[in-house]
Amino acid sequence: MSCGNRNDFDACVCETVRRIVKAQDEVAGTGNCCSTGCDQSIRDLVSPVANGNGPTTIPFALFCKGDCDPFIGSGIFRSPVGGSGMTALRCVETPIFRAKKFVDEDECCVQLELLLPITMGGSTPGPSGKGNRICDFFPGNSIRNLQATGICITVDLDCFCGIVCLDPLTPRPASEFDVDDEEDCC
């Protein structure tokens, strides 16, 4: 698949994310392919072997049309400052998302939750390098899971030409989202 102006691929990212949302909704309520990819991740998520105790999410990254660069989502949240009872606005960036719901079933606008990689020690490191590549958010081999943030953005999937899915998992709940005194990442 290429990131050109070909009309036959315009809806492929939208339809893949639509299938991810459907598969995730199914899980939440109740031989010749790639070993990693969106089709395999969807099969793994809805596999009867999981018996309802398996993963709940297919995390994914999107690639923008035109330049094919990964889309890095940004979000703002309110964070406590020390024990003072005061709060400050903080920023997070990530290339990894969870599809939450389509805003309009007839269009390709979808609400995405920002997911942050978390290390073996439980921290959420900011991007290394320039932070413009997906791998900049996955330092070494220390990432063990993803952290749900509760921060959602709405995007038009027609603006993307590519998608890459990670293996299904259950992210750490948004209620446990706590960014320590790290530097702001935006």
Output the pLDDT for position 179. Answer: 58
- pLDDT band at 57, cuts 50/70/90? very high
Distance (Å) of CA 186 to CA 79, 91, 95, 107 = 15, 6, 13, 30
Q: In angstroms, rounded to a whole number, what is the distance separating the alpha carbons of residues 154 and 171?
A: 20
> How is residue 76 written in tokens?
């703002």
Model pTM score:
0.79
Q: Which residues, including other chains, have CB under 8 Å from residue 12's CB and lie 6 or more apart?
A: 1
- Strand, helix or coil for residue 27: helix
| DSSP assignment letter at 154 | E
pLDDT at 49: 64
- pLDDT exceeds cutoff 50 at 170: yes
Q: Count of residues for the chain?
A: 186
- Residue type (1 letter), 174: A
Does the structure show a pLDDT above 50 at 104?
yes
CA-based nearest residue to 76, from 87, 63, 64: 87
